[in-house]
Chains A and B, each alone.
Chain A
Amino acid sequence: SQQGEEDPQALSIQEGENATMNCSYKTSINNLQWYRQNSGRGLVHLILIRSNEREKHSGRLRVTLDTSKKSSSLLITASRAADTASYFCATAWTGDSNYQLIWGAGTKLIIKP
């Protein structure tokens, strides 16, 4: 069964605006990670939030996690054209170092200059 589901599937905003993407998941998790992928390219790790954390910041990124709702959001503030990419959430359910990531379908973000 699918674990992560992002919404919206696609988001188009003007440069300078904030972009919010959401992710929902089904099972218990140990951590949730957000990745970015430029078209047809590799996966770049953005931020990790653990199940006992509620909010985390990294630069222009803010991630929240609500384990009661099994959901997370990624906020990119003051968006730039270079933020255009697909954004994926991925969850890990085990606390072991050896774990598989279960991925969502992604949100395609387009920043219009």
Chain B
Amino acid sequence: EPEVTQTPSHQVTQMGQEVILRCVPISNHLYFYWYRQILGQKVEFLVSFYNNEISEKSEIFDDQFSVERPDGSNFTLKIRSTKLEDSAMYFCASNGQGVDEQFFGPGTRLTVL
């Protein structure tokens, strides 16, 4: 069964460093998302992406964040200069045209020291 994959599973970085979180959505899906979950808190929407551009973004998704679909399979989230408060689990999700369910990857746990 096709699934969303994410790498790495855990990323540790120093404050101020850039990180790139990678996702491979399900191959025939068209809509891509990033969400994050700070430990013990609710899941929060960051950004949605369709047709090679951002569809919608939340207040969290400031100019330190960017997304890219560099090729036909990967979907990346870049944080330019990480802060301590960026420590969270980051989930990638995707869905297809006319499909309401969003399929989630296993997440990348980002720890900023």
Contact = CB atoms under 8 A, between A and B. Distances in A.
Interface string B35-48: 10000011111001
Interface string B14-49: 000000000000000011010100000111110010
Contact of A103 (B31, B42, B55): B42
A90 B43 contact: yes
A97 B107 contact: no
Interface in A1-53: 2, 30-31, 33, 35, 40-45, 48, 50
B95 interface: yes
Interface string A92-103: 100001111111
B100 A101 contact: no
Nearest to B50: A98
B104 A43 contact: yes
In this complex, which of B33, B48, B98, B100 has the most chain A Cβ atoms within 10 angstroms of its Cβ?
A: B100
A50 B101 CA distance: 11
Contacts of B96: 97
A87 interface: no
Interface in A59-101: 88, 90, 92, 97-101
A110 to B, nearest CB: 16
Nearest to B29: A97
A48 B100 CA distance: 8
B43 A100 contact: no
Given A98-B55, A103-B43, A105-B42, A42 B105 contact: yes
A30 to B, nearest CB: 8
Interface of B: 30-31, 33, 35, 41-45, 48, 50, 55-56, 58, 89, 91, 95-107, 109
The 8 A-B residue pairs with the shortest CB-CB distance, nearest first, are A42-B106, A103-B43, A100-B45, A43-B104, A105-B42, A98-B31, A103-B42, A98-B50
